[in-house]
């Protein structure tokens, strides 16, 4: 009977030890699941933040692109205005040169008329 009691005690001890192993496995499994879910949650939040920042960067790019096109168009308009002003300047200078020549020619005629002897 003593052997039976000892055997029964050993059996119960072994059974209890075996029963504790799955509980420990279950606890570490649940901890691993919980830890993985937390990492997945943080990763998802990071992904959403990155998507938001990418949308902001894309909008900034589109705004800059639109501004660059508007500036380019404005530069072309300014170039046309500059070209028109240059043509007007060239025409005004040419007209001034013609007027100066006409003035010089008139002064020359006056000088020549003064140098002639008085009419008889």
pLDDT score, position 3: 65
Whether 77 has a pLDDT exceeding 80, the answer reads yes
pLDDT score, position 53: 98
17: confidence class by pLDDT, cuts 50, 70, 90: low
d(CA 41, CA 82): 60
pLDDT score, position 120: 57
Please count the residues of the chain. Answer: 120
CA angle 32, 36, 42 (to 5 degrees): 150
Contacts of 113 (CB under 8 A, 6+ apart): none
pLDDT, one tens digit per residue, over 42-68 is 999 999 999 999 999 999 999 999 999
Cα 25 to the chain's mean position, in Å? 52
pLDDT, one tens digit per residue, over 106-119 is 999 999 988 988 87
Number of H helices, E strands in the chain: 1, 0
* 86-101 CB burial, b ≥16 within 10 A, e <16: eeeeeeeeeeeeeeee
Percent of the chain with pLDDT over 90: 68
Q: How many CB atoms lie within 10 A of CB 59?
A: 10
């Amino acid at each position: 009977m003593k052997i039976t009691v000892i055997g029964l005690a050993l059996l119960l001890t072994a059974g209890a030890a075996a029963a504790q192993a799955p509980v420990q496995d279950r606890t570490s499994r649940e901890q691993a699941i919980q830890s993985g879910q937390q990492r997945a949650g943080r990763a998802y939040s990071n992904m959403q933040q990155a998507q938001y920042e990418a949308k902001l960067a894309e909008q900034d790019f589109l705004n800059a692109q639109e501004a660059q096109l508007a500036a380019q168009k404005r530069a072309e308009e300014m170039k046309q205005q500059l070209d028109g002003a240059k043509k007007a300047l060239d025409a005004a200078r040419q007209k001034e040169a013609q007027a100066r020549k006409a003035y010089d020619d008139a002064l020359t005629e006056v000088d020549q008329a003064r140098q002639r002897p008085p009419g008889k």
